[in-house]
Chain A
Amino acid sequence: MTVATGTRRELMVVAAGREIRDGEVVFVGMRLPLLGFGLAKATHAPHAVGLFENGVIRDRPAEDFIYTMGDPPNIAGAIACLGLLDVMSLLQQGRVDVGFIGGAEIDPLGNLNTTRAEADGRVVRLPGSGGGQDIASLARRTVLIMEHEPRRFRPHVSYVTSPGHWPGRRRGGPATLITTLGVFDLRGGRFRVESLHPGVGLDEVRAATGFPIEAEASPRTTKPPTPSELAYIRRADPQGFWTGGPS
């Protein structure tokens, strides 16, 4: 793919940013969603507020590149530095409109597993929930970010770390899934293609997904980044630390 339309990860950043509406309170997280938040702030959502689970509240991106949410540039110029329980309490109150979560495995209901997986018969211990379970349980809606690989898309995840759509849910649930291949609408417990990234075909997606998915005969193409969106991303991630890789 040419520089003009960006790498797939750049596409994912743009798609993530588009999930944020102006004025919303966003549980941000790191990597692609962090870039998406900054992009949204710089474009269509200037009044969005970002919460980080370490207690940091920001209404604009850090002035320097950060590797973790605790890095000093994420503190300097923050609106507030509170405690973890303060931001989790805001989440539990229902004051957080949208939260971003990633996972190692996903199933059709948007359940995510980040705790333990099986690979060729062996159990692989994954790092764990972090704040994933909390965002999945308590945000008004969630946006999921995944590498689109067959081993990650399973009819049933072996362990539900971050619950998706289930009968007992009281609030929220997965709204959108953004992968390396496309954007999917998960509202109401369905799993529908919303758009495919440029150059990605429906067959490729079905082959990379271990369960049936709904799609129109010829799905829309994910709107590529505008030049100014690309310019923003490349300023924010100059080394391509997060957005480099497969184009």
Chain B
Amino acid sequence: MNVSQIVEGVLFASDAPLKAEEIARADESLDEDLVEEAVRELRALYDESGRAFQLVELGEGYQILTRPELAPYLERFDTVPRLPRLSGPALETLAIIAYRQPIGRIEIEYIRGVGAAGVIRTLQDRGLVEVAGRSEGVGRPLLYRTTRRFLEHFGFASLEDLPRPDELPVLLRERGSLEEILGEGNGAP
């Protein structure tokens, strides 16, 4: 078995994304660099040989997934019940947590203008959000962050993959300075 075969076998047998360091556990002869190299080879090979699956970077790791173009065929076999889609409030709350993590409930509620306790619990139940610790503030409120599962679910390789702030209007880039924002805003429109 060569490195590429071991990496392929491990990825093939896994039902969740694996980090290079995790794959490397398969054999003493492996290290992260060797794994990364094999991953690149396999990815190119699958693409060039027109395989039905691709090696995708996802959730801080790698996973073999079918090509999106196959969806219409595979959906005919849809025997797995899918979770209900996230509601608008849940998505908004998730978006806030994703960009502002770690963040407390009070801040989330201020940004959305409505209560968030129930929605946060839903996101926790779905494994998309987790407690990151406690703030130093009064009452030491809980802080939340997104999980690896969040990345997997939305198809992001890492938090860096989230839509970049420069594609978005100004605000999320900066936490604070209102003057700046208003300054930029006033100049713009």
Q: Do A and B bind each other?
A: no
